[in-house]
Amino acid sequence: MIGQCIRRGLLTAALLMLAGCQHASQQPDDATFRLETTRQAQGADQRIRFLVIHYTAEDFHNALTTLTDEHVSAHYLIPAQPPLEEGKPVAWQLVPENMRAWHAGASGWRGRTNLNDTSVGIELENKGYSHYLLGKKFYPFPPAQIDLLANLSKEIVARYQIEPRNVLGHSDIAPQRKDDPGPLFPWQEMAKRGVGAWPDANLVKQYMAGRNPQQPVDQAHLLALLKAYGYTVDENMTPQQQKRVIAAFQMHFRQSDYRGNADAQTEAIAQALLQQFPDSNS
């Protein structure tokens, strides 16, 4: 009898403790229902998996107007020359990170599509490019702008544990439509500061195996490497579309020559990146 009372008392105490834990995790007392949150599923992860960098192709004030209307938006906008408040550079947050912004459009990366749902988008004030007789002239990014971008991006990457290969330009996720942020964007500097991927020079040299950088390689094999890294490659692509994918990769990782040619250096860079940043479930 005494043992039963003790067991009953222990059970009552345990239930009271559980009830206390439940109460601590519930809505306010005036809520119409209660939620039990003491047990959390392991099959969950961050919604945000990608960080996408853009340029505005217009000045700051016009970009701010564009990005705050109902048709297109981004989470952040960074001026070319960020103003200072109390000695700190200012970036504009236009959409909270926990909400979807309309910056990526039709897009794809590592088998995922519609990256608006899973990304944070940052727009940089930059004129983009001008057309000249010999092609496009892209515009550089001021150091103060890149410094602010790097600091902001580093926080975002840490907050959502975004993999280096998932820090992207708009041209990476939409190579058939977009060129931004262009071949003058400092991807290597960003990687040095802990944001994004960059090929290891020694690995690239190993994969080059003494070949001339511009030596032609099998284009189908190169495209297979780029697809393995994350680019959208479709077997029904036209030759021009295939070239656009290669050019997007080169614009990111081999900025001295982004003509879209399938060459030995591009192949070696892709192989190095795949070794440095192996695939995961992201």
Task: Give the residue numbers annotated as catalytic, written as ranges.
Answer: 123
Q: Which residue has the tokens 């439509």?
A: 177
Whether the bond into 79 is cis, omega within 30 of 0: no
Give kind and range of the element (H or E) at residue 62: helix 60-67
Tokens found for residue 135: 């092609």
- What is the rounded distance in angstroms from the CA atom of residue 216 to the CA atom of residue 202? 21
Rounded (5°) CA angle 267-141-139: 80
* Beta-strand pair 76-78/50-55: unpaired
Per-residue CA distances from 275 to 120, 135, 153, 269, 278 (Å):
26, 34, 24, 10, 6
Tokens found for residue 29: 């007392």
Tokens found for residue 55: 């340029």
CB atoms within 10 A of CB 100: 17
- What is the rounded distance in angstroms from the CA atom of residue 56 to the CA atom of residue 63? 6
